[in-house]
């Protein structure tokens, strides 16, 4: 087992998932302002530190994705944030892309940037304690999107990023997110996601990536948010598993789904259904942002000094997601 494979498996094993706490300052400001909390570096740190020091971390969370501001911060315990996370047994990671910008040649689509100076930034993050990284590409669905240009450009960027990350001794999370926005059917989502993932792996192989030392972070196969189609979690699982079995090489150790625009319960129920029907060798777990934090954030905003109460809400949500990652979740457990 390679060192990278070992790190990936440590993050994903035993039903543990990844806490995506890598919201940019702009996104985090929107989240905090939506619950009437001023967005300052201190408040952003206070909320995140509340989660990172909760009991649920050691039982349910295998890795935490940080933002550049957060990985450089120091907790109230005087530990650095990576030290605080490592003390729970979870592995610190960091988002290293610099965001999605307009794609020249297809202005309604996006290309993710951040390759310039990445090698040096990775070395600095490694010294700070990061052992895995994240790079997210986004793809729209419509009758003409995602275009070949978007699929190829983003696949190439994901592969170049992955090569630099592995060179630095870290595990790359490869995140090609086909967005839920739009009125498309689940079948369309299946076809477009298949095309995107297949192309990503072609580029990863061209770039000589050790596939046993990556984590794939895809979307689930869902109907668009404005679609009239309503599909069951069983159908989500069937289509998602089919897509992954057909397009992901068997060397990949695990898949950590993003929640996209799903509610906490939808993201949990669909993950549970995927695991109940998982007939692959892939570990299937979660890498959730909003779907792990939304209830905790809402509770915390009522009294930002109620640390224990906020942690209780977060622990419950993380527990539900971990049960779903083992196919053991039921809706009755939500109210216990």
Q: Compute CA 51 distance to the chain's CA centroid, rounded to the nearest angstrom.
A: 16
Alpha carbon distance 151, 138 (integer Å): 10
Is position 217 annotated as part of the catalytic site? yes
3-state helix, strand, coil in the chain (%, to 5): 50, 15, 35
Q: Determine phi and psi for 74, rounding to 5 degrees.
A: -115, 135
Please count the other Cβ atoms lying within 10 Å of the Cβ belonging to residue 77: 11
Angle made by CA atoms 314, 321, 319, in degrees to the nearest 5: 50
Q: Determine phi and psi for 154, rounding to 5 degrees.
A: -70, -35
Catalytic residue among 192, 217, 238, 294: 217
Contacts of 217 (CB under 8 A, 6+ apart): 134, 136, 173, 174, 175, 177, 255, 256, 257, 258, 287
* Nearest to 135, CA basis, from 154, 120, 108, 151: 154
Alpha carbon distance 278, 271 (integer Å): 10
Q: Three-class SS of residue 113?
A: coil
Catalytic residue annotation: 217
């Amino acid at each position: 087992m390679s060192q990278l494979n070992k790190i990936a498996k440590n993050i994903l094993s035993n039903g543990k998932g990844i806490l995506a706490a890598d919201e940019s300052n702009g996104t985090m400001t929107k989240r905090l302002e939506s619950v009437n909390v001023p967005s300052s570096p201190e408040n952003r740190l206070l909320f995140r530190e509340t989660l990172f020091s909760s009991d649920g971390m050691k039982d349910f969370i295998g890795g935490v994705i940080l933002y550049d501001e957060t990985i450089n911060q120091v907790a109230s315990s005087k530990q650095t944030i990576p030290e605080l996370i490592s003390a729970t047994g979870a592995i610190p990671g960091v988002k290293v892309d610099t965001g999605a910008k307009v794609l020249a040649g297809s202005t309604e689509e996006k290309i993710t940037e951040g390759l310039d100076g990445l090698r040096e930034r990775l070395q600095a993050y490694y010294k700070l304690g990061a052992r895995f990284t994240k790079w997210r590409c986004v793809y729209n669905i419509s009758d003409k999107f995602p275009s070949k240009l978007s699929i190829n450009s983003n696949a190439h960027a994901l592969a170049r990023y992955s090569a630099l990350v592995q060179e630095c001794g870290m595990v790359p999370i490869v995140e090609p997110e086909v967005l839920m926005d739009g009125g498309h059917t689940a079948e369309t989502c299946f076809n477009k996601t298949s095309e995107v993932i297949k192309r990503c792996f072609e580029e990863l192989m061209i770039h000589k990536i050790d596939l046993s030392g990556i984590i794939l972070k895809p979307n689930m196969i869902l109907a668009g948010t404005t679609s009239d189609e309503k599909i069951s979690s069983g159908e989500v699982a069937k289509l998602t598993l089919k897509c992954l079995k057909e397009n992901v090489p068997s060397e990949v150790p695990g898949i950590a789904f993003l929640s996209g625009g799903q509610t906490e319960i939808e993201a949990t129920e669909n993950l549970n259904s995927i695991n109940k029907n998982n007939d692959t060798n892939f570990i299937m777990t979660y890498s959730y942002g909003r779907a792990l934090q939304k209830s905790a954030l809402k509770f915390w905003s009522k009294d930002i000094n109620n640390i224990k109460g906020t942690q209780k809400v977060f622990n419950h949500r993380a527990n539900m997601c971990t049960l779903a990652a083992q196919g053991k979740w039921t809706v009755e457990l939500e109210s216990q």
